[in-house]
Amino acid sequence: MHPINPDILSLTLPELEAAMPQHPKFRAGQVFDWLHRRGAQSFADMNNLPKTLRDELSQAFYIPKVETVKKLKSKTDGTVKYLFRLGDGVLVESVLMEYSHGHSVCVSTQAGCKMGCTFCASGADFARDLTPGEILRQVYAAGQDCPRVGGVVIMGCGEPLDNFANTMRFIELATHPKGLNIGARHITLSTCGLIPQMQALAAHRLQITLAVSLHAPNDQTRQQLMPIAKTYPLKDLIKTCREYVNKTNRRITFEYALAKGINDSHTQAKELASLLKGLNCHVNLIPINQARGQFQPTPKKETTAFQETLTALGIQTTIRRSLGGDIEAACGQLRAGQQEMDNLNC
């Protein structure tokens, strides 16, 4: 069972101060520092606090637990894939990625996912939403394996905007100057296109990067790949994206996973360019995940041709560098495999 008491790692500094009215405000600052800078695993670790205060905190709150079940490191690019078990036993995944500009952590916001995209391995066996503290703990755990975490990608298991309030609180805490202190422009949030939540996100005018999973230039193809497309057609989604850009003055990234013979033709590239014409955006072409075995990735030559067509028609496009291919770095693969093992051991 999930603890009944609140997750203290999910509280803002003012909320911590309000939760400790009988103590000086600087005590809340000390607690916040222990949680977000020193990585306290328990209240007993906070040895510069009075024992009475530590006892009070332990009775009123809990610190989310993150146990590393499996850690795999790529021999080719240094990417590290983590399988974490949370306090109530649910499994989540995270990835530490190294770039020329520093390290970023890809985090999960849910255990499993409700969206059911046919090419994604993370949608099996949805368990629950994660708390902001549980999302943060993934960053803190992965951060032990690098000098500094400079960026966060909210693109692991789950749909971040389906866990809207907790994802927003995570961003607030991750950007706090007394916490991770990550600049908003170093945070990327991925969504399959939940229009009401995208509109709510736009209202906050955050300077994060929004990545929209598109994967098709028309409703017919997109509905085959993504069930959510039956609820939110492309016409409405692209309109929402244009409104988002106008409100935030931030360029949108469109994720487009190329599947051989499904969404990778020259005609579809031209259709995609027409769909996105005039929108401040960038298209990120991705080799499709073969975890479920339903699709084959588009060959390199055809991928390059798809990119060249978009570029020629005025759409900024890159091909994502594939990381961690030798360690099952696609979201959901480790979790699914571990759950099968757990079931066999029952």
Q: Where are the alpha helices (DSSP H) in the chain?
A: 13-19, 25-36, 51-60, 132-143, 164-174, 195-204, 219-225, 234-248, 266-276, 300-312, 333-345
Q: Could you read off the pLDDT of 19-57 as tens digits, one per residue?
A: 999 999 999 999 999 999 999 999 999 999 999 999 999
Question: What's residue 125's pLDDT?
Answer: 81
The C-alpha R_g of the chain, in whole angstroms, comes to: 21
pLDDT of 344 > 60? The answer is no
Q: Could you read off the pLDDT of 234-286 as tens digits, one per residue?
A: 999 999 999 999 999 999 999 999 999 999 999 999 999 999 999 999 999 99
Percent of the chain with pLDDT over 70: 90
Q: Could you read off the pLDDT of 286-309 as tens digits, one per residue?
A: 988 765 567 899 999 999 999 999
Averaged over 319-330, what is the pLDDT? 68
From 51, 65, 54, select the one nearest 31 (Cα to Cα). 54
d(CA 42, CA 276): 49
Buried b (16+ CB within 10 A) or exposed e, 142-179: bbebbeebbbbbbbbbbbbbbbbebbbbbbebbbeeeb
Question: What's residue 345's pLDDT?
Answer: 45
Lowest-confidence pick of 101-110, 123-132, 248-257, 319-328: 319-328
Question: What's residue 340's pLDDT?
Answer: 46
pLDDT of 321 > 80? The answer is no
Question: What's residue 120's pLDDT?
Answer: 83
Handedness of CA 32, 35, 37, 40 (dihedral sign): positive
Q: Please spell the DSSP secondary structure of 68-117, one letter per residue.
A: EEEEEE-TTT--EEEEEEETTS-EEEEEEEEETTEEEEE--SEES-SS--
Please enumerate in sequence order all residues whose Cβ is within 8 A of that of 140, keeping only pairs 6 or more positions apart, or say none: 39, 66
Q: Could you tell me the pLDDT band of residue 341, with boundaries at 50, 70 and 90?
A: very low
d(CA 266, CA 288): 18
Between strands 80-86 and 91-99, the pairing is: antiparallel
d(CA 97, CA 110): 20
How many CA atoms does the CB half-sphere of 314 hold within 13 Å?
Answer: 9
Question: What's residue 87's pLDDT?
Answer: 95
**Neighbour order of strands in the sheet with 149-154:** 66-73, 80-86, 91-99, 102-106, 149-154, 187-191, 209-213, 252-258, 281-287, 317-319
From 211, 210, 219, 221, select the one nearest 118 (Cα to Cα). 221
Would you please indicate which residues are annotated as catalytic (active-site) residues?
93, 331
Between strands 281-287 and 252-258, the pairing is: parallel
Q: Could you read off the pLDDT of 124-159 as tens digits, one per residue?
A: 689 999 999 999 999 999 999 999 999 999 999 999
Q: Could you tell me the pLDDT band of residue 233, with boundaries at 50, 70 and 90?
A: very high
Predicted TM-score (pTM) of this structure = 0.93
Helix, strand or coil, per DSSP, at residue 331: coil
Question: To the nearest whole number, what is the mean pLDDT of the chain?
Answer: 92
Backbone angles phi, psi at 164, to 5 degrees: -60, -55
Averaged over 73-86, what is the pLDDT? 94
Question: What's residue 335's pLDDT?
Answer: 58
pLDDT of 334 > 50? The answer is yes
